[in-house]
A and B are shown apart, each in its own frame.
Chain A
Amino acid sequence: MLRAWLFIFPFFLFPLFLYANDADVVKPSVTPPAPPAADEVVLDPAPSGAAKDTEEKRREERKKERKEERKKKQQKSGKGKCKV
Chain B
Amino acid sequence: MQGLILLLLLISPVMLWAGDEEVEEPEDTPAFSFSGSVALGGGYESDVARSQGLIGGRRGAGDILLDASTELALFEETSLGASFLYDLLPAYGGRYTRMVLEATADWYRDLGSVELDLGAAGGLSLIDRFAPEPYFGSFDSYAELVIPHGEKLEWLVTLTVSYQHGLRDDVAYLRGPDVFVQGAVRWYFDEESGTLTGGYRAGVSLREKAGLYDIAGLAERGYISLTACNEHFEQALFAKVSYAVKSFTFLGRLSIIHRYAFAKDEWATLVALKEKRRIELAMVPSIEVRASISEEFDLSAGYDLEYTISSLGKGDYYDMNGLRHTVRVLATQRF
Contacts and interface: CB of A to CB of B under 8 A. Distances in A.
Interface string A31-75: 000000000000000000000001101110011001100110111
B85 A71 contact: yes
A1 B67 CA distance: 39
A54 B309 contact: no
Contacts of A74: 85, 100, 102, 123, 125, 138
B149 A24 contact: yes
A22 B142 CA distance: 29
A59 B186 CA distance: 13
Contacts of A58: 154, 188
Contacts of A57: 192
B34 to A, nearest CB: 15
Interface string A6-41: 001101101100110010111000000000000000
Name the interface size band of chain B.
Answer: 35 or more
Contacts of A71: 67, 85
Contacts of B151: 24, 26
Contacts of A22: 150
Contact of B85 (A11, A26, A75, A84): A75
A64 to B, nearest CB: 10
Interface string B78-108: 0000000101010000001010101000101
Interface of A: 1, 4-5, 8-9, 11-12, 14-15, 18-19, 22, 24-26, 54-55, 57-59, 62-63, 66-67, 70-71, 73-84
Interface of B: 48, 51-53, 65, 67, 69, 85, 87, 89, 96, 98, 100, 102, 106, 108, 110, 115, 117, 119, 121, 123, 125, 127, 135-136, 138, 140, 142, 144, 146, 149-154, 156, 164, 170-171, 174, 184-185, 187-188, 192, 196, 198-200, 205, 207, 210, 214-215, 228, 230, 237, 239, 256, 258, 278-279, 281, 309, 318, 320
Given A70-B121, A83-B205, 13 more contacts: A18-B153, A24-B151, A57-B192, A59-B108, A59-B117, A63-B106, A63-B117, A67-B69, A78-B100, A79-B89, A80-B53, A81-B51, A84-B318
